Structure 1
Amino acid sequence: MGKYFGTSGIREVVNEKLTPELALNVGRALGTFLEGGTVVVGMDTRTSGEMVKQALISGLLSTGVDVVDIGLAPTPLTGFAIKLYNADAGVTITASHNPPEYNGIKVWQANGMAYTPEMENRLEAILESGNFRKAPWNEIGAPRKADPREEYIKTALDMVHLEDSYTVVIDSGNGAGSVLSPYLQRELGNRVISLNSHPSGFFVRELEPNARSLSMLAKTVKAMGADVGIAHDGDADRIGVVDDGGNFVEYEVMLSLIAGYMLRKFGKGKVVTTVDAGFALDDYVRPLGGEVVRTRVGDVAVADELARHGGVFGGEPSGTWIMPEWNLTPDGIFAGALVLEMIDRLGPLSELAKEVPRYVTLRAKIPCPNEKKARAMALIAEEALRSFDYERLIDIDGVRIEGADWWILFRPSGTEPIMRITLEAHTEERAKALMEKAEEIVRRAVERA
């Protein structure tokens, strides 16, 4: 993690750390890094979006880079537009699921994948140096506005087809998904009921789609007798799903179901996920010809693995899904279309969810100052490897140790001053015993660090 870029681009409180000056300089740094070309810029619905976007665009233009401004646009639309307009990069002005006082800057490559930490480090170095390219008056970049929504829907309809029509409730959380997700579902032939779809920048629910934040969606699905409820975070790169019975479908279950459906749709192959994903995914996709590969947490790590080594599907147990046949940008809107196609082919979601094995997952957060994280992590690794009788170790992102029917992941948060513990076991009793031991190890390590 650099000075500006965290695990998902720059994300800060507006007019405190994220100022117009910073946005201007990020634009100048990106333009200097690219040495010309075209950049697509979109933004989510936050009240600060226009301010940050205009400053960033000014910076880009000053370096001689052309800009395609797609205005209010979910992250997946930015990713799509990069390819559509043959651009060299894309930027979304978004703070994803953070509260409304935050905003952020996330940069995308020409192939639709987020900038890797290495690329962000190079941008940081240019930012810090202040050594920006300055285009002469007659070579300043040209701005233009464009709206790729129609093309997005048309292209999606070439890949997703429904035999029947369904009633879908969509909760966009007053975010950027409002301008695209309900329209795609309608074009698929569905009856659409929209919740929180006025893109105001004043969010009426917590933006992260989870069982708590989607209680109104769940009630609406039940009351309207709908077939499914689909929800998004602020920039709609994620999806949360409520089944036909009005129950939130846990992320792990949904991840398994959609990975299985991708294997049915596109053929056998690799399913890429992150180190915090449970065994249910492996157990569900193995009979369908899927091989699970785990990588670091974050959509860029999943996309990177897919880009390098191929795969049928990539996803995190946070509702972030990447469909490589479609794009390397996480896309909660296209994901929603796929969920409908899966229901159309395989049956009601409430029935499908029963097929996914259920294990006990526990999570804990333990306070740990950022400056102590590296030392604490070294101590945790040392003691965990000594204290548990494990069969397998994965240390690409934190430390994950696995037994035959359990696993524990110790990992420093990339966004908060905490250590995270995630674990899974077949019984509640076993899970609680493992967590007690794991928490004790982490607390001791943080004290000693």
Structure 2
Amino acid sequence: MSDELIVSVSGIRGVVGRGLTAEAAARFAAAYGGTVGPKPVLVSRDGRPSGDMLRHAVIAGLLGAGCTVEDIGITPTPTCGFAVRALGAAGAIQITASHNPAPWNGLKMFGADGAVLPADRGAEVRGRYESGDFPRAAWDGIGCTRVPPDVLGDHRQAVLDLVSVASVAAHRFRVFLDANGGAGGPLGVQLLADLGCEVVQHGCEPTGHFTHEPEPTPAHLTDVAPWVKQSGSAVGFVLDPDADRLALIDEHGVCVSEEATLALAVQYRLNQEAGPVVLNLSTSRMAEDVARAAGCTCVRAAVGEANVVGRMRAEGAVIGGEGNGGVIDPRVGWVRDPFVGMAFILSLMAETGRPFSELVAGLPRYAMLKTKFEVPRSKLAAAYDALERRWPDARVNRDDGLRLDGSDWWLHVRGSNTEPVVRVIAEAPTDADVRRLCDEAGAVVTG
């Protein structure tokens, strides 16, 4: 287990009590506080037990920088972003390690627009954190703490306004929801109830105690998946701890690639309104094919929510996101929002009259493999050069690590922003093709 504190333009993340301490959290919060204006700063967290300790540290750092703090408690990450705009705050710090294992936690920063800080502002906070150049208020300049109105209901209504509630409610879907003890359980349960669904709940209390590995990938849901069929549910929805990712299980208890979440959301959204779509470089071609079939442009951005959001704004995109189960609809907010994904998928089921498994079967079919290797960052540049030499005929993109595109395959290799690993992701026509790509790329980067 790493003792390293990962400091990036997105925030900090580490193992609690080792890389991530109360001192580091307070210092980082103070550095962030030095970059915001006089408006209040929101503080929220996912359900991890360590979040309570870090909450006190973050609030202390912000108060010491002279900020007014509005504590919104255990809250999904997309609700935090929504609340920034709804409450007119200067920004927010969300205490979460997203999909990392239980010993981890971290801080994620938002700006006044309710989006994750862009790279330039994140770099400013990082610089202040590392140099210690941030304000330290005198006794009569210390900030205060307030508890604002609850915004969960407003977020829920903003999602409901995007779909025909009556159309979904008429089908009275039974839906399995696994929040895995994370922050999204209460909002997810209420949203589904408002859509007329009967909700089969699993881990929907935000205790932070995980019943399975927190990253909601098919490999981690083998024990959960059969319960969807056993409960007679039409679909299974699975959230990660801070509820910014949505994984899917069909009515037969089969785990569906998290890449399908965005593809189905794009399909529904473009049925409503045609417009540009923005995906990151590691996202499946499924969503791109769906967009192009609808006659819409599809643009690729560097991995990372802030990068996708920045490109969405530039392109005037009607929807965007990342293939890890993250759907971004600017009508609700600039954050990956699984509640939007749930509403869109149920609406697609209601309007087409097709079972969920048939919707998935109707998507373009590719084999995809996501792997990771422990490789020092100092070796990445040489590894990228070696990979280009290995596939000399591929189209090269170095916007974010290295992406190579062949005639019917692509390979993306990049250092993770959240873990001390190198990610190697590939997509190709068959399982054998994609395994060969990842194995060969892995041998190059670790060689």
TM-score higher than 0.5: yes
Q: How does 1:34-53 map to 2 (within 5 A)?
A: 34-53=36-55
1:25 alignment partner AA: R
User: What's the C-alpha RMSD, in Å, of the aligned pairs?
Assistant: 2.2
Q: Distance in 1 between matches of 2:58 and 2:435?
A: 48
Q: Distance in 1 between matches of 2:402 and 2:326?
A: 22
Partner of 2:294: 288
Partner of 1:388: 391
Partner of 1:273: 279
Partner of 1:252: 259
Q: How does 1:318-337 map to 2 (within 5 A)?
A: 318-337=324-343
Q: Please report how far the alpha carbon of residue 429 of structure 1 lies from its aligned counterpart in structure 2 after TM superposition.
A: 4.7
Is the contact made by 2:371 and 2:424 (CA closer than 8 Å) also made in structure 1?
Answer: yes
Q: How many residues align?
A: 438
Partner of 1:351: 358
Determine what percentage of the aligned residue pairs are the same residue.
34
Partner of 1:205: 212
Q: Please report how far the alpha carbon of residue 137 of structure 1 lies from its aligned counterpart in structure 2 after TM superposition.
A: 4.1
Shift of the 437–3 alpha-carbon distance from structure 1 to 2, 3 Å rule, reads: closer
Partner of 1:447: none
Shift of the 166–7 alpha-carbon distance from structure 1 to 2, 3 Å rule, reads: farther
The CA deviation string for residues 364-403 of structure 1, in whole angstroms up to 9 with x for no partner, is 4343123333xxx3x3333333332535222111121212
Is the contact made by 1:36 and 1:63 (CA closer than 8 Å) also made in structure 2?
Answer: no
Shift of the 363–140 alpha-carbon distance from structure 1 to 2, 3 Å rule, reads: closer
Shift of the 314–136 alpha-carbon distance from structure 1 to 2, 3 Å rule, reads: same
What SS does structure 2 have at the residue aligned with 1:176? coil
1:269 alignment partner AA: G
Partner of 2:402: 399
Is the contact made by 1:389 and 1:403 (CA closer than 8 Å) also made in structure 2?
Answer: no
1:281 alignment partner AA: A
Q: Distance in 2 between matches of 1:220 and 1:354?
A: 21
What SS does structure 1 have at the residue aligned with 2:208? coil
Partner of 1:196: 203
Q: Distance in 1 between matches of 2:375 and 2:130?
A: 28
Q: Distance in 2 between matches of 1:135 and 1:15?
A: 27
The answer to which of 434-443 and 210-219 deviates more is 434-443
Partner of 1:422: 425
Q: Please report how far the alpha carbon of residue 3 of structure 1 lies from its aligned counterpart in structure 2 after TM superposition.
A: 6.9
2:300 alignment partner AA: R
Partner of 2:95: 93
The CA deviation string for residues 232-265 of structure 1, in whole angstroms up to 9 with x for no partner, is 0110011111122222221223322211111112
What SS does structure 1 have at the residue aligned with 2:101? coil
1:315 alignment partner AA: G
Q: Distance in 1 between matches of 2:250 and 2:416?
A: 31
Is the contact made by 2:10 and 2:119 (CA closer than 8 Å) also made in structure 1?
Answer: no
Shift of the 259–442 alpha-carbon distance from structure 1 to 2, 3 Å rule, reads: same
Q: Distance in 2 between matches of 1:306 and 1:4?
A: 27
Is the contact made by 1:272 and 1:292 (CA closer than 8 Å) also made in structure 2?
Answer: yes
Is the contact made by 2:77 and 2:242 (CA closer than 8 Å) also made in structure 1?
Answer: yes
Q: Distance in 2 between matches of 1:72 and 1:434?
A: 41
Is the contact made by 1:7 and 1:298 (CA closer than 8 Å) also made in structure 2?
Answer: no
Q: Please report how far the alpha carbon of residue 334 of structure 1 lies from its aligned counterpart in structure 2 after TM superposition.
A: 2.8
Shift of the 390–12 alpha-carbon distance from structure 1 to 2, 3 Å rule, reads: same
Q: Distance in 1 between matches of 2:196 and 2:403?
A: 44
The one of 182, 188, 202 aligned to 1:181: 188
What SS does structure 2 have at the residue aligned with 1:328? coil
The one of 103, 106, 119 aligned to 1:104: 106
Q: Please report how far the alpha carbon of residue 136 of structure 1 lies from its aligned counterpart in structure 2 after TM superposition.
A: 4.4
Q: Please report how far the alpha carbon of residue 193 of structure 1 lies from its aligned counterpart in structure 2 after TM superposition.
A: 1.2
Partner of 1:243: 250
Partner of 2:134: 132
Is the contact made by 2:249 and 2:256 (CA closer than 8 Å) also made in structure 1?
Answer: yes
Q: Does 1:303 align with 2:309?
A: yes
Provide the TM-score with structure 2 as the length reference.
0.92
Provide the TM-score with structure 1 as the length reference.
0.91
Is the contact made by 1:67 and 1:142 (CA closer than 8 Å) also made in structure 2?
Answer: yes
The answer to which of 69-78 and 309-318 deviates more is 309-318
Q: Please report how far the alpha carbon of residue 225 of structure 1 lies from its aligned counterpart in structure 2 after TM superposition.
A: 1.3
The CA deviation string for residues 203-249 of structure 1, in whole angstroms up to 9 with x for no partner, is 11111112232234422221121111111011001111112222222
Is the contact made by 2:10 and 2:109 (CA closer than 8 Å) also made in structure 1?
Answer: no
